[in-house]
Amino acid sequence: MKDLFHRLTRAHRLLDDEIRSELKRRFPSNIKLLRLKKLRLAVKDRLHARLSGRKLVMQTGL
pTM over 0.85: no
**What residue type is assigned to position 23 of the chain?**
L
Residue-level pLDDT at 58? 56
Model confidence over 2-41: pLDDT tens digits? 888 899 999 999 999 999 999 999 999 999 999 999 999 9
Residue 25 Cα distances to 12, 21, 33, 35, angstroms: 20, 7, 11, 16
Rounded Cα distance, 50 and 20, in Å? 26
Residue of 45 and 60 predicted with greater confidence: 45
| DSSP letter for each residue of 1-62 | -HHHHHHHHHHHHHHHHHHHHHHHSSS--HHHHHHHHHHHHHHHHHHHHHHHT---PPPS--
